[in-house]
Structure 1
Amino acid sequence: MTVPTTTGTFGASARWLRRPRPCHDPSARLVCLPHAGGTASAYAPWAARLPARVELITVQYPGRQDRLAEPCARSVPEIADALVPALAPYADRPLYLFGHSMGGLVAYEVATRLEAGAGPDPAGLFVSGQLAPHRSMPSPEALDDATVEAEARASGWSDPMVFDHPELRELVLPALLADVRAVLSYHCGDPVRLRCPIVAYAGSGDPGDVPAELSAWGELTSGPAAWRRFDGDHFYLQSQEAELIADILARMSN
């Protein structure tokens, strides 16, 4: 594969991607996509748990932290469309995709684009805390700010302090609401069946991620599929970080 060297491609990479511990000669790269309202820095501690030759790439959505001045993305496909060219300079080594919650949908959409010819096939797709695209339906309600905020509060997408502290609301809430709206409006009526392996994860206390829902991800690949639940709620990956990363690395080495 010829690695793109255009200014536009590397400009997109600089905007979208963060490399907490750059590796000159990695054997593989793990691309991590955050949940609604999340940031690339949430995955930065993972770098210390990865082998030296597995490079961590974290994704920064617009409208937060160092991209605060940029407009938020309006949909999951819009994010995936922008990410694929941003990942092109790093596709010379096997790319594994991990996405939690909204990040799982974005990771799936990125994988479909790569396998459709936008890049080399991903080496594996890891999804966490998210229903399979063909099992989730767009919200029938009008997605005004009040409805989206209520959903964000109820689902545990963010610390309640975000909603009650004026300064935090101003900094964080626009991105959170945009992301939740993107998830609630997401619809994949005719899902693409991938070729790469898929592994689905969830917390045992996350009511939407029962075994039947986790195993549904296996319907979206012609390759190997597996699922695993960890102790914890929707954000189990914070308390189970070491165990989750160990499981991901074990599957990457198979």
Structure 2
Amino acid sequence: MNGVLGEGAIPHERIARLPQDKRARLVQRLRSQTEDGHGVDRWFVRYSAVDRPAVRLFCFPYAGGGGSAFRGWSEGLPAGVDVWAAQLPGRESRVTEPALRRLDPLIETLHEAILPKLDLPYAFFGHSMGALVAFELTRRLRRAGAPLPSRLLLGAFRAPQLPNPHIRIHHLPDEVLKTVLGKEGTPRQVLESEELMRALLPTLRADLEICDTYRYREEPPLTMPMSVFGGHQDVRVSRGDLDMWRTQANGPFRLVMLPSSHFFLHSSQDLLLAELSRELGSAPRPAEGERRHD
């Protein structure tokens, strides 16, 4: 699996807990706009404006997730970090657009969309499927001779050269897919909401198809610092899967294990943002090598 609709996901978990009438109104509002967005364009959204940004942090969500997964991150990061969350087709403010089903066209479109925003130093963070997107977008920018991220921050996805250990599930019937999602940790309130599942399943299937059909292509390792984050209790992505990212790094590499499961960006958000602050802010950097939270 690739990090879909997990415990604490935003806004899915919050929507599922609302009374039916309020839930319907909120789903409709998500169809028309991203809540409280500042500096919104089709592909990236800011939830908090930064007056004098020193670095832009572009964030890419897990399968089925939208930009709101990163709502509130600016408050947990140094003042000069300008957070931009990727808003992919088929979700939230773009829910009426068909989701893409292959990684290559997604990367090509993101490449064109992000180029005008690379006038400042920047970094990438991606969680689960988002880590794969961030990695391949970085390689696409390198092939184009564009400015590259100063840091690559990747979470909860196996090293891309490793084979996919999971069965393909994007084509499964709805009820079978929901059963699989339940076993993988998707909250029952989400699965039992027909309204939510009707809105989410097409996009979720498309994202799963992106991961199921991904084929790694050999290129030289990346030279910017790379930090990879994982959860000690993640049953989907092992520490060994994460450590193999080392072969993609021809620069400083860190493996950071957090005391949580696959969706540590929600359940251990404070710890993750503290680590990202060390990477992006003025605080002293940790020693090279692995930093662990036991």
Q: Percent identity?
A: 30
SS of residue in 2 equivalent to 1:15: coil
Distance 1:166 1:149, change over 3 A: closer
Matching of residue 21 in structure 1 with residue 48 in structure 2: yes
Q: Does 1:95 pair with 2:122?
A: yes
Whether the 8 Å contact between 2:48 and 2:74 is mirrored in structure 1 is yes
Other structure's SS at 1:125 match: strand
| Cα distance, 1:214–1:142 mapped onto 2, change above 3 Å | closer
Do the aligned partners of 2:170 and 2:208 also contact (CA within 8 Å) in 1? no
Structure 2 residue runs of 5 or longer lacking an equivalent are 1-39, 286-294
Amino acid at match of 1:74: R
Give the Cα separation in 1 of the matches to 2:166 and 2:277: 35
Please point out which of 258, 261, 271 is paired with 1:243: 271
Gaps of 5+ in 1: 1-12
Which moves more between the two structures, 63-72 or 114-123? 114-123
The answer to whether the Cα contact below 8 Å between 2:170 and 2:206 also exists between their aligned partners in 1 is: no
One-letter identity of the residue aligned with 1:127: L
In the alignment of these two chains, the number of paired residues is: 241
Q: What's 2:208 paired with?
A: 180
Q: 1:238 to 1:60 in 2, by over 3 A?
A: same
Give distance in 2, aligned partners of 1:71 and 1:105.
20
Runs of 4+ with >6 A deviation: none
Q: TM-score, normalised by structure 1?
A: 0.87
1:82 aligns with 2:115: no
What are the equivalent positions in structure 2 for 1:1-254 lying under 5 Å apart?
Answer: 14-117=41-144, 119-137=146-164, 141=168, 143-146=170-173, 149=178, 151-156=180-185, 158-253=186-281, 254=285
The TM-score with structure 2 as length reference comes to 0.76
The structure where helix makes up a greater share of residues is 1
Q: What does the per-residue CA deviation read over 1:167-204, in whole Å, with 9 as the maximum and x for residues that have no partner?
A: 11111111111111211221214255212111110110
- Measured at CA, do residues 164 and 40 of structure 1 come closer, stay the same or move farther in structure 2, by a change above 3 Å? same
CA distance in 2: counterparts of 1:138 and 1:78, whole angstroms? 24
Residues 138, 186 of structure 1: 8 Å contact kept:
no
Instruction: State the one-letter code of the partner of 2:60.
Output: L
- Asked if 2 retains the 8 angstrom alpha-carbon contact of 1:138 and 1:184, the reply is no
Deviations 1:115-139 (A, max 9, x none): 2225201111111110010013386
Structure 2 residue identity aligned to 1:30: L
SS of structure 1 residue aligned to 2:71 = helix
